[in-house]
Amino acid sequence: MNPWEEISLSDYENHMSLDSVKQLQTMNKMMKKQFEAYPVTTAMVFGIAGGNGLEHVNQEKYKKIYGIDINEEYLVAVKERYSDLGDTLECYRIDIAGESDRLPEAELVIANLFIEYIGYEAFKTGVLKSGAKYVSCIIQINADEETWVSDSPYLHAFDCLDAIHHQIDEKALTKTMSEIGYSPLISDEYLLPNRKKLVMLDFGRNDI
């Protein structure tokens, strides 16, 4: 079992939305930009969790949104919460680290606080399978590398993630994307409490 299958959605979202963490709210604002930034009609969200940000999907623009996660309970919640998206939203339980061949194709891949849990190589494989023209990633930068999870009453719900967590570096991610034919487009950063920040890095395929 992947450690993410052991974490309840309520623990995850309650932790992420605390005033001392504010990652859920910050990512929501950033995802609005992600969905609006590029001339695409299909998008795929790696690690969709509870569907944070899907309210920004413009159904006049998007024909299909794919939600990918390894936790089946998360996907059930997404479909219930965003039932107004109807057939535009399709959710799949896929372990991208080992089942990327099952991924559908999409013009835009969104991967927020996700690469940390599968690593660069598996992420490259997933992006290539998607055939994405654009890739938008949000990574977390920690001033104190010893405490990558912010302190909260829900802290120990995430202990199981230590075994699979990778610290992602901006330069290393850019190099990784370059290796598969993507160049940097834009970057942006948002400060968080506890000496952390979220950095958004967007890439475009070189042949478009």
Angle at 200 between CA 195 and CA 205, to 5 degrees: 155
Domain ranges of the chain: 3-205
The confidence score (pLDDT) of residue 152 equals 80
- pTM listed for this prediction: 0.95
Q: How far apart are CA 42 and CA 56, in angstroms?
A: 14
pLDDT tens series, the chain, 208 aa: 899 999 999 999 999 999 989 999 999 999 999 999 999 999 999 999 999 999 999 999 999 999 999 999 999 999 999 999 999 999 999 999 999 999 999 999 999 999 999 999 999 999 999 999 999 999 999 876 556 577 788 888 889 998 999 899 999 999 999 999 999 999 999 999 878 899 999 999 999 8
Enclosing H/E stretch for 111: strand 108-112
Q: Do residues 167 and 142 touch, judged by C-beta distance below 8 A?
A: yes
The confidence score (pLDDT) of residue 193 equals 86
Architecture field, domain 3-205: 3-Layer(aba) Sandwich (3.40)
Rounded alpha-carbon distances, angstroms, from residue 166 to 56, 121, 140, 183, 205: 29, 12, 11, 22, 25
The confidence score (pLDDT) of residue 143 equals 73
Closest CA to 199 of 111, 122, 128: 111
